Amino acid sequence: MTESFGRSRALTVASAGLLVLSLAACQGKDKAAPHRTGAPSSTAPGTPSGATPPSPTALPSNAPTADATAKPAGNGRCPAYPTPACTGAPHALSAMRAVRLNVDNDALLVTKPGTVLDGVHVPGNVVIAADRVTIRNSVIDGRVTNDYQDANHPFTITDSTVGRPDRCVSEDAVGTARFRASGLLVRGFSHGFKVSGDTARGGDVEITDSYVKNCSNGADHADGIQVWGVHDARHLVVRHSTFDQRGVSDFTAPLFLADSAGGTISDVTVEDNLVAGGTYSIQLKHVAGRLVVRDNRMVDRTWSYAPVESWCHAIQTWTGNTIVTIDPAYKVTKTVRPLPCTE
């Protein structure tokens, strides 16, 4: 089945030269991946342009800066599988400091290496244009992306909430390469995480202890995590996270690790996740190298076609995966049967 859709969203702002901020939405899917379709989706609301932001070499005066006490990712607050109750920002929004947006009243552009955003509320997107940025204990109403001027600057985001519960944005919430994400609550986006790029700047992504609840607008082809446009990317870890696509009208898969744009994804670990919904819930294709799919739990009868469509012949380790039932709090109540790999 052929799939085709496209969305783009750009910010163009004036400075000494022209500062072009590309916030590219997901487009394209693996042509072999079926999807549920509805009416064609409309493009996400455009971003106003033309305003002059503060100098791109500095953050707004009220933004936090480098902090040598930044903690590593992954504190694992969830005793079982991640839920909305044990992921996201640990403090109330009223206790956080609002950060002023510096690009068109739409985005916070981070340009200082080593910047730490800790305990802040960003009422828009965060665009990372510097190395070693850390976001923690914060609420981000919009996207978090390091896809900026054909570069992906490494960043870490932990114990934070991304997205608002009162809207559905037809874009990816967090991406696109060289990032570590742990303890996130992701909501209000058609795509949770996005991985894209090539050998020079692609891949190198670790997602742990996080919860993703998708939504959709029209033919969004929602994914919990989407690998898109990858040319030979390396190192992708998805561990101990919950991906829930139940109740979404237009979707592809909670784990869509398949669209490689002619290349391959290598060194992939998908381990100890709880997955619900999708056409085929786990799609792992166009892959090579060290591939491990282990101890994942698939919620029974939540898929449309089958629980798995993957390149089983290329996956070295497929073990301990099972189909289960869960209660409303995402607690596993029963193991139904083993989950084999199917192509």
- Choice between 260 and 128, residue whose per-residue pLDDT is larger: 128
- Looking at the chain, the whole-number percentage of residues with pLDDT higher than 90 is 61
The model's pLDDT over 166-214, given as tens digits with 9 standing for 90+, comes to: 999 999 999 989 999 999 999 999 999 998 865 555 678 999 999 999 9
pLDDT digits (tens, 9 = 90+) for 289-322: 899 999 999 999 999 999 999 999 999 999 999 9
Instruction: Establish if 224 belongs to a structural domain.
Output: yes
Is 51 within a domain?
no
* 42 lies in some domain: no
What residue has token string 């109740």?
Answer: 247
262 against 287, higher pLDDT: 287
Name residues whose C-beta falls within 8 Å of residue 69's C-beta, 6 or more positions apart in sequence: none
Of 71-75, 81-85, 265-269, where does mean pLDDT reach its minimum? 71-75
pLDDT at residue 39 tops 80: no
Half-sphere exposure of 53 (CA within 13 A, CB side): 30
316-341 pLDDT, tens per residue? 999 999 999 999 999 999 999 999 99
- Is the distance from CB of 12 to CB of 20 less than 8 angstroms? yes
343 is a domain residue: no
Q: Is residue 185 one of the residues assigned to a domain? A: yes
| Structural domain that includes position 235 | 74-338
Burial class (CB in 10 A: 0-12, 13-18, 19+), 225: buried
Asked if residue 276 is part of any domain, the answer here is: yes
Q: b vs e for 87-105, b when ≥16 Cβ sit within 10 Å of the residue's Cβ?
A: bbbbeeeeebeebebbbbe
Within-domain flag for 210: yes
Q: Would you say residue 216 lies in a domain?
A: yes
Contact between 222 and 216 (Cβ < 8 Å): yes
Check residues 40 and 139 and name the one with the higher pLDDT. 139
Strand partners, 152: 147
Q: Indicate the number of domains in the chain.
A: 1
How many helices (H) and strands (E) the chain has is answered by: 0, 33
Question: pLDDT tens for residues 113-163?
Answer: 999 999 999 999 999 999 999 999 999 999 999 999 988 999 999 999 999
